[in-house]
Structure 1
Amino acid sequence: MKFPVVRPEYLFSLSLLSGVCALPSTAYASVVLNGSSNNMDYQVSLVAEHLSVPWGITFITSQKLLITQRHGEAVILDISNNSQTAVKGLPDVTASGQGGLLDVITEPGYQQPNGWLYFTYSKTIGNQAVTVLARSKLKVDTLTQWQELLVTHSATPTYRHFGSRITFDQQGHLFFSVGDRGERDNGQDLTTHAGSILRLNHDGTVPADNPFVAHKAALPEIWSYGHRNPQGLAFDIDSKQLWASEHGPRGGDEINLIKKGSNYGWPVTSHGKEYWGPISVGEAKEKEGIESPRKVYIPSIAPGSLLHYTGTAFPGWQGDLFVGALKLEHINHLTLSPEGIITSEERLLLPLQERIRALVQSPEGWIYFTTDNGNLYRISPLE
């Protein structure tokens, strides 16, 4: 494991806590970094380690997190005693390339054991892979009543660009993203779910007011299209705005404000370059009839997640966006105006030198995040 580069005075460990661990875990929480943002002091603590590419994370109680691991397993982490318990009842997933067990999120108002947990993952159909949306209920440590809500029409033989994050609008709908699956033309093809953000009712049915319901040459689940690989989704309940973070090619990562039925350009428009030469991707950076990004990152930061912060623990962050950066290894903090304009950018936690994978807000308004090194951290007010 690559340890954070931090000043020695910020580093300490606590004694071993009691608790039986069904899986190996780090039974301590240690402060590894202090910082300041918007005149607020915070501390970053290492909560757990030895996870395996922890891709998705959600609170199932005020003290328990369910964490998916890309290779196809999941754990319940009790942060009160740092114990980990393996989750039973998961489906077979295709854990190859960028595919595997991906996002997890609780439904609005979730309560065990009757609440629904929603998952995305990749699975093989024939010799090709697709992105799947499913839901299940958790009884103690076992998933029951597993339902595949949508096996997307996104099959390709590649194992790239599956998406796939989930968010809710608190009005009976969920959104989830599907990447172009490694085939660029899918971004402009409304007969495939690949390269799209989809909108469904909670039970997997199609809302009657989806933009392409009446179009015979389009799939009715599509909400927006022209996406390359959106791996971050967040819904602002107050403004009713849907935000997405999206991987560009070599340069050209995007933050997009998602609008009903809109085309976001890929691969017709792009701010990125081809991987094999200094040649632009797409015919233009902007074009009439195509929604332009609200922010572009050059060089790429590789945005792997997105959080819209609503907590009270950090009042100076309320309403802002936080992006987990994989390639440039930081949390990207974006300040939003009430009109949805990004007014400033701040790069947090660079000294950690870790690929930030998933972000979630705790009931206290703290931010928990995972890294590809297998670590779970939290950001809380400085004690």
Structure 2
Amino acid sequence: SEINGLPDDIVTRGQGGLLDVQTSPEFAADRTLYITYSKSIGDEAATTLARAVLSEDNQRLTDWEDLLVTDSASSAGQHFGSRVTFDDEGYVYFGVGDRGDRNNGQDFSNHASSIMRLHMDGQVPDDNPFVDNPDIPDEIWSLGHRNPQGLTYDSERDILWEIEHGPRGGDEINVIEPGANYGWPIVSHGREYWGPVNVGEAESLPGYVDPVKVYVPSIAPGSLWVYRGEAFPEWQGHLFAGALVLTHLNHIAVDAQGTIGDEDRLLEDLGERIRAVTEDHRGYLYLSTDSGRILRVSPPAP
């Protein structure tokens, strides 16, 4: 059923609109949803983190609160990010893309091309990596991201995983470290859309963190999820990403230490742009598609 109570300043153009919705880690008690969306700022739009309370009858949102309207406002309709995740220590993370301006990748004066880390109420943690640097916003946790489309916290390994769109080729999975620079657009595995010309100076350079996996050609990731369910024990600790352009569920094996292993591509025959991936209490996977379908992946009946 439709849920009412969204603000009227959501910009729905290009890749903008509602970007991600996640339940609070204490949802059973607080009924709180964390939401990223593209917020109207005059004639521009900025990726924004908000929270609201879902009514007991699941019909409406109340107590809407913008926690961070990022300094990323632009008239461009692309590369808003954004996914939301939580760690085990009371912090919320979300990403913002370069907003279609490559210069934002290494312009640290605004929030574009970054992963943010905040307290659950939107306050800035005292130990964020740039709180003592007057030239970089205090909310930033990591830098140099083209367009984060998946972000998930792995509590078993204490890893913050991120997946992002490269240009033509060069989608990346990264292990996010505080204060680290992931290189966009100086470092990239991608090519220009208008020809076989490399983007950036190199595929790896000192001072920039290399991805742990690169997709060439691009799959166009839509999400990232670390699986911890019981339904598919052989998949525990593995990563799953929705693929848009290459229309499949991307499965990546990961060992106990967090080392990326083999990849395989599931559900290719459906031809669906898979946007989001999550799991329920049984370990069944749920996928949303750009065609408006919700799909469930469960073990065969005994």
Relative to the length of structure 2, the TM-score reads 0.97
Partner SS for 2:269 = helix
Q: Does 1:283 align with 2:178?
A: no
Q: Which residue of 1 is the match for residue 122 of structure 2? A: 204
Q: Does 1:248 align with 2:166?
A: yes
Q: Which residue of 2 is the match for residue 88 of structure 1? A: 4
Answer 1 or 2: which has greater strand percent.
1
Q: Which residue of 2 is the match for residue 132 of structure 1? A: 48
Q: Distance in 1 between matches of 2:116 and 2:257?
A: 24
Q: Which residue of 2 is the match for residue 101 of structure 1? A: 18
Q: Which residue of 2 is the match for residue 225 of structure 1? A: 143
Partner residue of 1:162 out of 80, 87, 112: 80
Output one character per residue of 1:124-155: Cα deviation in whole Å (capped at 9) or x when no partner.
21211100100000112110110000000001
Q: Which residue of 2 is the match for residue 120 of structure 1? A: 36
Q: Does 1:174 align with 2:92?
A: yes
Q: Distance in 1 between matches of 2:21 and 2:140?
A: 20
Superposed displacement of residue 115, structure 1: 2.5
The amino acid across from 2:13 in the alignment is S
Q: Distance in 2 between matches of 1:121 and 1:110?
A: 20
Q: Distance in 2 between matches of 1:315 and 1:164?
A: 29
The amino acid across from 1:104 in the alignment is V
- The unaligned stretches of length 5 or more in structure 1 are 1-84
- Taking the TM superposition and a 5 Å limit, the aligned residue runs for 1:307-346 are 307-346=225-264
Q: Does 1:237 align with 2:155?
A: yes
Q: Which residue of 2 is the match for residue 349 of structure 1? A: 267
Q: Which residue of 2 is the match for residue 195 of structure 1? A: 113
Output one character per residue of 1:312-352: Cα deviation in whole Å (capped at 9) or x when no partner.
11100000000100000001100112222111101111011
The amino acid across from 1:220 in the alignment is D
Q: Which residue of 2 is the match for residue 48 of structure 1? A: none
Partner SS for 1:185 = helix
Runs of 4+ displaced beyond 4 Å: none
Q: Distance in 2 between matches of 1:176 and 1:380?
A: 29
Superposed displacement of residue 109, structure 1: 2.8
Q: Which residue of 2 is the match for residue 259 of structure 1? A: 177
Greater relative contact order (Cα < 8 A, sep 6+): 1
Partner SS for 1:111 = helix
Q: Distance in 2 between matches of 1:204 and 1:220?
A: 12
Q: Which residue of 2 is the match for residue 25 of structure 1? A: none
CA RMSD between the two structures = 0.8
The amino acid across from 2:28 in the alignment is Q
Q: Distance in 2 between matches of 1:110 and 1:281?
A: 43
The amino acid across from 1:133 in the alignment is L
Partner residue of 2:211 out of 271, 293, 301: 293
Relative to the length of structure 1, the TM-score reads 0.77
The amino acid across from 2:201 in the alignment is E
- The unaligned stretches of length 5 or more in structure 2 are none
Partner SS for 2:286 = strand
When the two structures are aligned, how many residues end up with a matched partner?
Answer: 298
Partner SS for 1:191 = coil
Superposed displacement of residue 191, structure 1: 1.1
Superposed displacement of residue 123, structure 1: 1.6
Q: Distance in 2 between matches of 1:202 and 1:180?
A: 24
Q: Distance in 1 between matches of 2:114 and 2:134?
A: 17
Output one character per residue of 1:274-326: Cα deviation in whole Å (capped at 9) or x when no partner.
11111110011100010000011011000010000011111000000001000
